[in-house]
Amino acid sequence: MEKIWLNEAFISEVPNSFQGKVGWASPSNIALVKYWGKKGKQLPQNPSISFTLSECRSETFVSFEKADRFGFNFFFEGKENPAFGAKIEKLLLDNLAFFPFINQLDWKVESRNTFPHSSGIASSASSMSAFVMCLLEIESLLVSPSTGSGTLTKASYFSRLASGSAARSVFPSMALWGKTESYEGSSDEYAVSLSEYIHPVFKTYHDSVLIVSGETKSVSSRAGHALMEGNPYASARYAQANENIKNLLAALKSGDLATFINITESEALQLHALMMCSNPSFILMKPNTLGIINEIMAFRNETQIPLCFTLDAGPNVHLLYPESEAEKVKHFINDKLDAYCVDNKWIADRVGDGPKKLL
């Protein structure tokens, strides 16, 4: 057990009067270099880098009360939903050794997302990191509050145990998760903030999420990671991801948008190519995904505006561009791209500041 995460000051018995409610909002994130393939206990096969978003968030409230035994109820958007709560319940039960108060409390967790459930946006990164922020706050109410940057590292560590990509959501602007020689202090166990490292142009980047389909994904990320184990291109992929991390880090520092675009688009296509050549194989892009990609490439060639796309493990397209081009790109979306979207729907998101306390 990694002792550094155990707050030694904790008194073994939770006082009878201990009860309350805490609340945190935490954002989703979009990876530029993708995490696809894991090993050991939720450790990544290769490092990944993401933008922390702002508008796509989970808002989670936890009510707690001293009890004789562990109790757990989970509500999603006002309705009890044990299936959605299962990952959180497992996180709690798996980590009693770090948080010895867990089984002395009755837990009521209420969560909602600011983005529509049918938008195809994965919510595990936002919901898991929002819950972990609540968990750490409850810990700090019992023992002398843990403060400072170490707290976010601890939040990242436990978010990772619930959902790998959630490790990156706790930091503002951008985060790097996974050990790489190209960045001192990087770790497979938690993400590190890139906020102070990156060129200012990336701190106000936009991400317009073009909703091509609202269907839930046909392959869960858990199954997708597992399929990498038998993928014949796995080792070439991990080598390539490491190379992309090195070059992207350099571009993020200098503000080199051409390299940023080249790596970001290549990573999105590689993620989908890996799924296409796994066994069984998956094609997660839809015809309109390709339609949008072609429009973006043509528009960039024509106008020289440095916009680019990335994809998650699904058909929706994340359109990334600097703040200085926002007006022109908005016209482009309204003129050309929203016709490819379900009910012309897209979400205007942008780089954000990380979790926020709600209560």
User: In this complex, which beta carbon is closest to ligand PMV, that of residue 100 or of residue 164?
Assistant: 164
35 or 131: CB nearest ligand PMV: 35
> Smallest distance, Å, CB 222 to ligand PMV?
6
Write down the least CB distance from residue 53 to ligand PMV, Å: 12
Distance (Å, rounded) from C-alpha 355 to C-alpha 134? 10
Q: Which is nearer to ligand PMV, 28 or 104 (CB)?
A: 28
Q: CA distances (Å), 119 to each of 33, 147, 210, 217, 317, in order?
A: 22, 35, 9, 11, 11
DSSP 79-134: EE-HHHHHHHHHHHHHTTTT-TTGGGEEEEEEEEESS-GGG----HHHHHHHHHHH
- Quote the least distance from Cβ 38 to ligand PMV, whole Å: 7
Handedness of CA 296, 301, 303, 307 (dihedral sign): positive
**CA 177 – CA 282 distance, rounded (Å):** 26
Nearer to ligand PMV, 30 or 142 (CB): 30
User: Taking the complex as a whole, how short is the minimal distance between the CB of residue 283 and ligand PMV, in angstroms?
Assistant: 15
In angstroms, rounded to a whole number, what is the distance separating the alpha carbons of residues 111 and 125?
Answer: 13
Q: CB nearer to ligand PMV: give 193 or 221.
A: 221
> Residue 210: helix, strand or coil by DSSP?
strand
In the complex with ligand PMV, which residue's Cβ is closer, 62 or 162?
Answer: 162
Shortest Cβ distance from residue 297 to ligand PMV (Å)? 22
Bridge partners of residue 319, in order along the sequence = 208, 309
Closest separation between CB of residue 36 and ligand PMV, Å? 6
The two tokens of residue 131 are: 């819950």
- Tokens coding 138: 């409850």
Quote the CA–CA distance of 287 and 315 in Å, as a whole number. 9
Which CB atom, from 222 or from 328, has the smaller least distance to ligand PMV?
Answer: 222
Give me the residues that bind ligand PMV (CB under 6 A), please. 31, 34-36, 48, 122, 124, 163-165, 221, 271, 312-313
Q: How far is the CB of 252 from ligand PMV (least distance, A)?
A: 16
C-alpha pair distances (Å), 10 with each of 95, 97, 99, 101: 15, 12, 9, 8
What is the b/e burial string over 172-200, where b = at least 16 CB atoms within 10 angstroms of the residue's CB?
A: bbbbbbbbbeebeebbbbbbbbbbeebee
